[in-house]
Amino acid sequence: MNRIFYTALLLLMGFRLNAQDTDIEKIHTVLDQWHLAATQADFQAYFGLLSEEAVFIGTDASEVWNKKEFMDFSRPYFEQGKAWDFKAVDRNIYLDPSGEIAWFDELLDTWMQLCRGSGVVRKVDGEWKIAHYVLSLTIPNEEIDPVIALKKEKDSTFIQTLRKQ
């Protein structure tokens, strides 16, 4: 009887691990399709991969957009047939035990050189959708001092504007 129990348990664990691998593959595909849709300036495909409550955070401190705001910002680029071309060169995906939420980080080859994207995806009606995405520039630690100097004035002005709101 114990042998049957342990065999069944191992089979169930195997199915669960296989399901996790399948979900991770699906998430990779969604993220790759999302980046490709931007490269091809396919507005419908690009925004169709975002959940309705999605948030996109860009590289500028002022760029925190809900889906509609991000669509409005992005529309002119897509309409010109030239959005952006980001290609993942490395990606890590972490699946929540529930199998309904995952988070990820990726290094991207972009026109801004190497960038990092990170975010959250969640299942919506059985399909993985991007719910939160953060794009950030990567700066080598040994080169940070000149960047800090460049940012000081701009950031202090931006912070003062935020505090007045």
CATH assignment at residue 35: 3.10.450.50
What value does the mean pLDDT take over residues 36-64? 97
Residue 47 lies in domain = 2-164
The number of distinct structural domains making up the chain is 1
pLDDT at 82 over 60: yes
The predicted model scores a pTM of 0.83
* Model pLDDT for residues 85-136, shown as the tens digit of each residue: 999 999 999 999 999 999 999 999 999 999 999 999 999 999 999 999 999 9
The pLDDT score that the predictor gives to residue 164 is 85
CB 78, CB 41: distance < 8 Å: yes
* Model pLDDT for residues 11-39, shown as the tens digit of each residue: 444 545 455 679 999 999 999 999 999 99
What value does the mean pLDDT take over residues 43-62? 97
The pLDDT score that the predictor gives to residue 21 is 76
The Cα–Cα gap between 48 and 75 comes to: 14
Task: Dig out the tokens for 31 from the structure.
Answer: 């993220």
The pLDDT score that the predictor gives to residue 4 is 67
User: Secondary structure of the chain in the HEC alphabet?
Assistant: CHHHHHHHHHHHHHHHHHHHHHHHHHHHHHHHHHHHHHHCCCHHHHHHCEEEEEEEECCCCCCEEEHHHHHHHHHHHHHCCCCCCCEEEEEEEEECCCCCEEEEEEEEEECCEEEEEEEEEEEECCEEEEEEEEEEECCCHHHHHHHHHHHHHHHHHHHHHHHHC
The pLDDT score that the predictor gives to residue 6 is 52
Average pLDDT, the chain: 90
> Which region among 6-20, 40-54, 74-88, 129-143 has the lowest average model confidence (pLDDT)?
6-20
